[in-house]
């Protein structure tokens, strides 16, 4: 029996959420007294079963059990606000700097002083005041139909408004934080007027109104519903390594292009974690964050979920590596995280639904 308790929020809501528990150990989450030094209470919006190996390795190394509570990021942030000083949670993990920024703005994190973390995590991938730290990276790239697009025609995010792509671009909704952060990075570079003009030009080139997740965009490009998709890198290796021949066939039709290699580099976002302000067990929480950036954990993130590590020198998944190397934008993640809300307003005005 693994030394971990897992709970999953199933219903949305603010004051209360229905909870279903999948037991990995005893005692259960509800039975743990606050401040129990042998227990770490983790709220996570990363819904990857492969992360269990990271959590188990932490327990094996430290003897500290993990109680895992999973939900969507906004649900967890709202729950933490409602729990206030009585929250049992020690650590919040979520995907995208925009959500980390939201949690920080709500006053949920405490700054962490850890030479281990500041040495391991590049400055661009952590909060300038060390409230949160990136634990894995994902690039938001242009994926294209190999039979319909010559990659020599591709260059930058900005060039996606070129009339040659009229009716050929696929992407998910502006309501999704991944697109808000990408647009927020452009907003930081170009300012509001120019970025809104870019968003309008992009909308004019959509092959269809946004629908579905990144995988849906990739499959639509493979099916010829469009020529280009804006998507995070880790979705394509999932299809390539799937046991489903149809998924494999989709992946075989898709090429990956890393935009803006001649200037600032490709937009990179993060999964990240922070120690919560009201953490009952802050010492264990800091040890856990340090474990997340250990070579062991970084290799698990890279191998199991096809992500790029934040720590230099850690090998990436061979399928992901086959897409090539790239220059990453070194804009601090806090910058585009902070720009999420103005980016969304701008996208709405541009008709990006």
Decide: 260 and 329 in contact? Cβ < 8 Å. yes
Give percent of the chain above pLDDT 70.
90
Beta bridge partners of 271: 95, 136
Alpha helices in 11-50 (DSSP H): none
Hey, is 313 helix, strand or coil?
coil
Q: Which residues contact 37 (CB under 8 A, 6 or more apart)?
A: 64, 281, 283, 284
pLDDT in tens, 229-267: 999 999 999 999 999 999 999 999 999 999 999 999 999
In the chain, domain spans = 4-137+269-319, 139-267+322-349
Closest Cα to residue 94, out of 85, 104, 81, 86? 104
pLDDT score for 50: 85
Question: Within a 10 A sphere around the Cβ of 133, how many other Cβ atoms?
Answer: 26
pLDDT in tens, 74-104: 999 999 999 999 999 999 999 999 999 999 9
Output helix, strand, coil percentages for the chain, rounded to the nearest 5: 45, 20, 40
Residue 303 has pLDDT above 80, yes or no: yes
Closest Cα to residue 66, out of 99, 90, 83? 90
For tokens 């020599």, what's the residue? Answer: 152
Distance, in Å, from the CA atom of 94 to the CA atom of 58, rounded to the nearest integer, reads: 18
Residue 11 has pLDDT above 80, yes or no: no
**Single pTM value for the model:** 0.88
Decide: 310 and 135 in contact? Cβ < 8 Å. yes
Decide: 98 and 184 in contact? Cβ < 8 Å. yes
The number of angstroms, rounded, from the C-alpha of 87 to the middle of its chain's C-alpha atoms is 24
Residue 2 has pLDDT above 50, yes or no: no
Same fold? 4-137+269-319, 139-267+322-349: yes
Q: For 35-49, 102-116, 244-258, 270-284, which range has the lowest pLDDT when averaged over its residues?
A: 35-49
The CATH topology of domain 4-137+269-319 is: D-Maltodextrin-Binding Protein; domain 2 (3.40.190)
Distance, in Å, from the CA atom of 33 to the CA atom of 193, rounded to the nearest integer, reads: 53
Tokens for 73, please give them: 């990021």
Tokens for 314, please give them: 């850690």
The secondary element (H helix, E strand) that includes residue 341 is helix 340-349
Q: 3.40.718.10, 3.40.1180.10, 3.30.365.10, 3.40.190.10: which CATH number matches 139-267+322-349?
A: 3.40.190.10
Counting beta carbons within 10 angstroms of the beta carbon of residue 191, is it exposed (0 to 12), middle (13 to 18) or buried (19 or more)? exposed
Residue 15 has pLDDT above 60, yes or no: no
């Amino acid at each position: 029996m693994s030394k971990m308790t897992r709970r999953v929020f199933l219903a949305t809501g603010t004051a209360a959420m229905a909870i279903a528990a999948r037991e990995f150990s005893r005692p259960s989450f509800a039975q743990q007294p606050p401040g129990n030094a042998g227990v770490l209470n983790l709220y996570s919006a990363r819904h990857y079963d492969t992360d269990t190996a990271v959590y188990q390795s932490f327990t094996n190394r430290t003897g500290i059990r993990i109680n895992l509570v999973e939900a969507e990021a906004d649900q967890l942030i709202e729950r933490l606000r409602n729990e206030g000083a009585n929250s049992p949670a020690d650590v919040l993990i979520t995907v995208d700097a925009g959500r980390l920024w939201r949690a920080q703005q709500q006053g949920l994190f405490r700054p962490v002083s850890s030479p281990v973390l500041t040495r391991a995590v590049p400055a661009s991938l952590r909060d300038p005041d060390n409230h949160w730290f990136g634990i894995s990276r994902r690039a938001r790239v242009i994926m294209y139909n190999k039979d319909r697009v010559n990659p020599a025609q591709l260059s930058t995010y900005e060039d996606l408004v070129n009339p040659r792509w009229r009716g050929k671009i696929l992407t998910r909704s502006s309501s999704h934080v991944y697109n808000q952060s990408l647009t927020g990075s452009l907003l930081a570079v170009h300012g509001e007027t120019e970025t809104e003009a870019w968003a309008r030009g992009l909308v004019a080139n959509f092959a269809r109104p946004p629908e579905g997740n990144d995988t849906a965009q990739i499959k639509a490009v493979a099916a010829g519903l469009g020529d280009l998709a804006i998507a995070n890198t880790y979705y394509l290796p999932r299809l390539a390594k799937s046991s489903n021949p149809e998924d494999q066939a989709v992946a075989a039709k898709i090429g990956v292009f890393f935009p803006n290699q001649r200037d600032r580099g490709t937009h990179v976002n993060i999964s990240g974690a922070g120690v919560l302000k009201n953490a009952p067990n802050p010492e264990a929480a800091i040890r856990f964050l340090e474990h997340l950036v250990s070579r062991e954990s970084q290799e698990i993130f890279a191998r199991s979920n096809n992500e790029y590590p934040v720590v230099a020198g850690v090998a990436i998944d061979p399928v992901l590596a086959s897409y090539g190397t790239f220059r990453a934008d070194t804009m601090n993640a806090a910058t585009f995280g902070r720009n999420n809300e103005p980016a969304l307003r701008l996208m709405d005005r541009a008709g990006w639904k």
